[in-house]
Amino acid sequence: MSFSYLAGLTEAQKYAVTFGEGPLLVLAGPGSGKTRVITCRIAFLLEAGIRPDQILALTFTNKAAQEIVDRVVSLTGQKGIWIGTFHGFCARLLRRYARLVGLEENFTIYDEGDSLRVLRRAVERAQFPLVSHSLSDVAAAIHRAKNQLQLPEFFMPKDSAVPLELWRQVYAAYQEELRRQNAVDFDDLLLHVARILGEHPDIRGELDDRFRFILVDEYQDTNLAQYAIARALAIDYPNLTVTGDPDQSIYRWRGATLRNILEFEKDYPHVTVVRLEENYRSTGRILRVADALIARNRLRKPKHLFTRNPEGRPVRVLIFKSEQEEALGIAEEISRAVSSRQRRFRDFAVFFRLNVLSRPLETAFRQSGVPYQVVNGTEFFRRKEIQDLLAYLRIVVNPRDDEAFARICQTPPRTFGVRTLDRIREFARQRGLSLAEAIQEEDLFRELSPRMRKPLCEFAEMLRKLMEIPYGGAEAFVRTILDQSGYLQYLKAEGTPEAQERLANVEEFISVTRQFDLRHPGGGSLEQFLEEVALASDPDRWDETDDCVALMTLHAAKGLEFPVVYIVGLEQGLLPYEDSWRDMEELEEERRLLFVGITRAREELTLTRAVYREFRGQRRLTIPSPFLLELPRGEVEIEDRSEEQVGFVLEATSPVEERGQNFDLARGPECFLKQEENPRKPEGRLYLAKELLPHEADKSATEVPVTAGSLVLHVDHGLGRVVEVAEDEGEWLEVEFFALGRHLRLSPTDPRIRILPRKNT
DNA sequence: CCGGCCGAAATTTTT
DNA sequence: TTTCGGCCGG
Ligand SMILES: Nc1ncnc2c1ncn2[C@@H]1O[C@H](COP(=O)(O)OP(=O)(O)OP(=O)(O)O)[C@@H](O)[C@H]1O
């Protein structure tokens, strides 16, 4: 009982940490200590006498949750708070209240693959035509609906050639199929819980009473369903603390909405808003680069952020010839820094927009003897052999899991295949049975060719045996399964190099089960194991105490920090991704993504790009990311290591400069985009969130007038300048593309171009 | 009714 | 360059 950690906090942080009862909104920039506030606040509440099980903390990844727990334990010695991701928390609740939504406690959590297979059958059954919409369109529509808490009856997909009634039928059929299989998809975890809380006031009241203090980190990336859940639990005891940074919202595509911040203020009119303005993480230079970049976003309110950290070294932009050289260049720098004992491997992180970009890095790191970890915990579990293995476990826990049944039927290969499986499905559907039940039925064999009888009976027998395996820890169980199912034998018999790799993965899977057993000394159930696997987040399996370089996507980097950061692939089409720049909101999310990456760096930051990059086996010339042009020239050091005379080199010695006319060379890239005057907010600590968020009106202020001299960015040809505009302004533009060396006549509404705002307009 | 071969497409980020 | 789906021979 010391409260000693309070001494290490700023006044603003201390205010938030020691805030008593009532709603609290902490809106602050990167590295300002939001997570620290959450952690210390939990410790504070515990020391103030709140029981651990009355505290609920919701984080973005399991890893983040674990870190907070460890820290809280080291500060207070107390355990037993409720902490996890929204999905994890909801799964836990749903186990308890499963019956209320037609499920049983042992329900399975389906991943996207399983969900899509279920949906495919729902689409067939509802006779939904997959003409104007693909299966994944339907999946996306349902996903959106669920995140908006829309049930099938209220499903309102945006206008489509398909009648509304049909949409509702597919959605309903999909839900019915999931329920039949005693399964949920990811979104159902939230939807079902939100529904239970909404429809059962007694349960809501009981849980509200139970969770006296609720804290949500990374609040800017919550969706409507998540907010509804947090809100429902904080009505009688409105002690809800949320922390977030609108500039770090990078999951809009998954339903996250900043509206939640505004809703929060509406639902809790007496909310206290705390701003943290001091960054403790990055050097002055890194922070200024980050700030200049994010200032380009229009749908944003400016935020004041300063640091007392040293200026540090300049941010670098490195240009390489190819992705191989990019990767090797980074590997060499890391090697050098480590061998000269300036750094350790674990001081470094490399971020990329797309997972595939890790490939060349991995190759180069292996070649250079640089140890690394790819931080993608979920990918491992998506491998076929792992999914197969998991299917064996799943069917034992939930025999109604038809997706697992279907997988098991197919690997190892048995003497019956998909066709027979379809027949069994049909039979099962007619009688309302699960597949596992169906193959026990004598009647089934009358509908199948007699040849199928023997293999099916053998299969049924194997299943029965699996079900009877006594459970004594996950590892022992999986070993038995591997043996009895014949899976291990099947892989060994293959003998191909791929099979070897699969065997290695199976080995690794066993070690995952071993770690699970160790983590749960009392004996974690199989159900629990499957849930952990299903809800794993990418950084979970990353061990930061291991001395190696961390490789991860920009998304996975959220919330982390490293002394030295590299961000690769700053190219049009990668970052910003594809055609996201056509839509301002999407482009701004891409910019925020880069902003998140930049602000992970404590001391050194390097952005890189390659002049050529291999794409689908083709070597292609790349276009630099327009974001590079948005970095303040005075703060960055550009170094061209490509030795290439071709390509779009907008930095340093560019064809743009040679042609000069319209460019203000002194101001460098600054002249490309208009710098918005960001009015500073009056000093003080307490603000309304409204002031920190964009006004609706800002969104319409995006029309850019086009005249001769306007700059145009083309998706294929890069930068150009308008030389002539049609009499009737809407008709055409004559654009001179610098890298192309000639004029093109384009429509001003051509989706491939974007008109850049001019200076002083 | 099954597995293998060949041609065309490749649409991110993740709980 | 890889992966998936469709078609055909056993
Ligand atoms: N008052 C403080 N004194 C010293 N260091 C601090 C203080 N507050 C925060 N820090 C340090 O600053 C870094 C960033 O803190 P934290 O991760 O909590 O910030 P954050 O606002 O959650 O960041 P982000 O939003 O970028 O993820 C951490 O290394 C933390 O230890």
**A646 pLDDT more than 50:** no
CB A19 within 8 A of CB A40: no
Catalytic choice (A187, A217, A247, A588): A217
Both A509 and A391 in one domain: the answer is: yes
Both A314 and A393 in one domain: the answer is: no
- In the prediction, which pLDDT does A753 show? 66
Helix, strand, or coil (residue A330) = helix
- Residue A668 in any domain: the answer is no
Both A455 and A320 in one domain: the answer is: no
How confident is the prediction for chain A on average, in pLDDT?
Answer: 82
Residue type, A489: Q
CB A550 within 8 A of CB A350: yes
Instruction: State the Cα–Cα distance between residues A548 and A545, nearest whole angstrom.
Output: 9
- In the prediction, which pLDDT does A206 show? 95
Distance A37 CA to ligand 1 centre (A): 8
- In the prediction, which pLDDT does A506 show? 87
Residue type, A362: E
Instruction: State the Cα–Cα distance between residues A201 and A208, nearest whole angstrom.
Output: 10
Nearby residues of A8 by Cβ (< 8 Å), 6 or more positions away: none
Of ligand 1's atoms, which has the minimum distance to the CA of residue A560? 27
Helix A384-397 vs helix A402-410: crossing angle, to nearest 10: 130
Nearest DNA or RNA nucleotide to A135 (CA to C1'): B11
Nearest DNA or RNA nucleotide to A615 (CA to C1'): C1
**A98 pLDDT more than 80:** yes
The separation, in Å, between residue A413 CA and nucleotide C10 C1' comes to: 17
In this prediction the pTM is: 0.82
- In the prediction, which pLDDT does A655 show? 31
Nearest to A403 by CA among A191, A102, A119, A167: A119
Both A363 and A484 in one domain: the answer is: no
CB neighbours (10 Å) of residue A12?
20
Strand C: which residues have Cβ below 7 Å from it? A 616-617
Instruction: State the Cα–Cα distance between residues A16 and A34, nearest whole angstrom.
Output: 10
Q: Residue A456 belongs to what domain range?
A: 380-535
Both A254 and A324 in one domain: the answer is: no
Both A518 and A563 in one domain: the answer is: no
Q: What mean pLDDT do residues A702-731 have? A: 68
Instruction: State the Cα–Cα distance between residues A663 and A645, nearest whole angstrom.
Output: 21
- In the prediction, which pLDDT does A531 show? 93
Percentage of residues of chain A with pLDDT beyond 90: 45
- In the prediction, which pLDDT does A667 show? 33
Query: Do you know the residue count of chain A?
Result: 761
- In the prediction, which pLDDT does A719 show? 66
- In the prediction, which pLDDT does A65 show? 93
DSSP per-residue letters across A701-718? TT-----TT-EEEETTTE
**A437 pLDDT more than 70:** yes
Instruction: Write the CATH number for A525.
Output: 1.10.486.10
Q: Which of A152-156, A434-438, A718-722 shows the lowest per-residue confidence on average (mean pLDDT)?
A: A718-722
**A652 pLDDT more than 60:** no
Nearest to A147 by CA among A224, A79, A199, A32: A224
In the DSSP assignment, the letter for residue A675 is P
Helix, strand, or coil (residue A550) = strand
Both A524 and A547 in one domain: the answer is: no
Q: What mean pLDDT do residues A664-672 have? A: 32
Bridge-partner residues for A737, per DSSP? A720, A742
Instruction: State the Cα–Cα distance between residues A299 and A586, nearest whole angstrom.
Output: 11
CB neighbours (10 Å) of residue A635?
18
Nearest DNA or RNA nucleotide to A420 (CA to C1'): B1
Both A466 and A393 in one domain: the answer is: yes
Distance A588 CA to ligand 1 centre (A): 25
Catalytic choice (A67, A187, A218, A603): A218
Q: What mean pLDDT do residues A319-328 have? A: 92
Instruction: State the Cα–Cα distance between residues A608 and A594, nearest whole angstrom.
Output: 12
Which bases of chain B come closer than 7 Å to a protein CB? Answer: 1-3, 10-15
A347 counts as catalytic? no
- Look at strands A240-244 and A24-28 and give their pairing: parallel
Alpha helix positions (H), A432-525: 435-438, 453-468, 474-484, 487-494, 497-519
| Within A 333-352, residues with CB less than 7 Å from strand B | none
Q: What mean pLDDT do residues A502-513 have? A: 87
Q: Which two tokens stand for residue A112?
A: 């996207």
**A677 pLDDT more than 60:** no
- In the prediction, which pLDDT does A46 show? 94
- Tell me the pLDDT tens digit for each residue of A389-410: 898 899 999 999 988 888 888 7
Q: Which of A79-93, A227-241, A413-427, A694-708 shows the lowest per-residue confidence on average (mean pLDDT)?
A: A694-708
Both A90 and A120 in one domain: the answer is: no
Q: What mean pLDDT do residues A141-169 have? A: 83
Bridge-partner residues for A610, per DSSP? A320
Q: Is the CB of A35 under 6 A from ligand 1?
A: yes
- Residue A693 in any domain: the answer is no
**A680 pLDDT more than 60:** no
Q: Exposure string (b/e) for A141-175, b if CB count within 10 Å is 16 or more?
A: bbbbbbbbbbebeebebeeeebeeeebbbbbbbbb
Asked if the interface predicted TM-score (ipTM) of this complex is over 0.85, the answer is yes
Q: What mean pLDDT do residues A500-520 have? A: 87
State yes or no: cis peptide before A412, omega within 30 of 0. yes
- In the prediction, which pLDDT does A671 show? 33
Cα–Cα separations (whole angstroms), residue A475 to A381, A407, A690:
16, 21, 52
List strand residue ranges (DSSP E) for A150-301, in order.
183-184, 213-216, 240-244, 272-276, 278-279
Q: What mean pLDDT do residues A13-38 have? A: 93
Q: What mean pLDDT do residues A705-714 have? A: 69
DSSP per-residue letters across A192-203? HHHHHHHH-HHH
Q: Is the CB of A9 under 6 A from ligand 1?
A: yes
Cα–Cα separations (whole angstroms), residue A352 to A367, A556, A568, A581:
20, 10, 6, 18
Q: Is the CB of A245 under 6 A from ligand 1?
A: yes
- Residue A254 in any domain: the answer is yes
Instruction: Write the CATH number for A260.
Output: 3.40.50.300
CB A344 within 8 A of CB A358: no
Distance of CA A289 to the CA centre of its chain: 24
**Confidence at A624, pLDDT banded by 50, 70, 90:** confident
- Tell me the pLDDT tens digit for each residue of A117-141: 888 888 888 887 777 778 888 888 8
Both A322 and A434 in one domain: the answer is: no
**A659 pLDDT more than 50:** no
Helix, strand, or coil (residue A506) = helix
Q: Among the three residues A611, A640, A669, which one is the final residue of a domain in this structure? A: A640
Q: Among the three residues A229, A260, A276, which one is the final residue of a domain in this structure? A: A276
Q: Higher-confidence residue: A689 or A500?
A: A500
- In the prediction, which pLDDT does A82 show? 95
Catalytic choice (A248, A411, A513, A606): A248
Nearest to A538 by CA among A85, A26, A118, A99: A85
Instruction: State the Cα–Cα distance between residues A369 and A466, nearest whole angstrom.
Output: 44
- Please give the tally of structural domains in chain A: 5
A14 counts as catalytic? no
Instruction: State the Cα–Cα distance between residues A411 and A421, nearest whole angstrom.
Output: 13
**Confidence at A730, pLDDT banded by 50, 70, 90:** low
- Residue A21 in any domain: the answer is yes
The separation, in Å, between residue A365 CA and nucleotide B11 C1' comes to: 29
- Residue A228 in any domain: the answer is yes
State yes or no: cis peptide before A576, omega within 30 of 0. yes
- In the prediction, which pLDDT does A32 show? 94
Q: What mean pLDDT do residues A425-430 have? A: 83
Q: What mean pLDDT do residues A67-95 have? A: 93
Q: Higher-confidence residue: A560 or A539?
A: A560
Say how many CA atoms lie within 13 Å of A194 toward its Cβ.
Answer: 22
Residue type, A292: A
Q: Which two tokens stand for residue A632?
A: 């303040």
Both A469 and A521 in one domain: the answer is: yes
Instruction: State the Cα–Cα distance between residues A173 and A122, nearest whole angstrom.
Output: 5
- Residue A655 in any domain: the answer is no
**A108 pLDDT more than 80:** yes
Specify the residue with its C-alpha closest to ligand 1, atom 2.
Answer: A9
As a whole number of angstroms, the longest Cα–Cα distance in chain A is 85
CB A626 within 8 A of CB A661: no
Both A410 and A372 in one domain: the answer is: no
- Residue A437 in any domain: the answer is yes
Nearest to A282 by CA among A305, A307, A304: A307
Q: How many distinct helices (H) and strands (E) make up chain A?
A: 28, 24
**A106 pLDDT more than 60:** yes
Helix, strand, or coil (residue A466) = helix
The separation, in Å, between residue A149 CA and nucleotide B15 C1' comes to: 16
Instruction: State the Cα–Cα distance between residues A204 and A197, nearest whole angstrom.
Output: 5
Q: Among the three residues A640, A655, A689, which one is the final residue of a domain in this structure? A: A640
- Residue A671 in any domain: the answer is no
- In the prediction, which pLDDT does A614 show? 86
- Tell me the pLDDT tens digit for each residue of A217-266: 999 999 999 999 999 999 999 999 999 999 999 999 888 999 999 889 99
**A80 pLDDT more than 60:** yes
Of ligand 1's atoms, which has the minimum distance to the CA of residue A276? 21
- In the prediction, which pLDDT does A640 show? 83
CB A575 within 8 A of CB A416: no
**Confidence at A685, pLDDT banded by 50, 70, 90:** very low
- In the prediction, which pLDDT does A716 show? 62
Q: Which two tokens stand for residue A178?
A: 């999931």
Nearest residue, CA→C1' of C3: A616
Bridge-partner residues for A307, per DSSP? A279
CB neighbours (10 Å) of residue A468?
9
CB A624 within 8 A of CB A584: no
Q: Which of A9-23, A374-388, A521-535 shows the lowest per-residue confidence on average (mean pLDDT)?
A: A374-388
A608 counts as catalytic? no
**Confidence at A296, pLDDT banded by 50, 70, 90:** confident
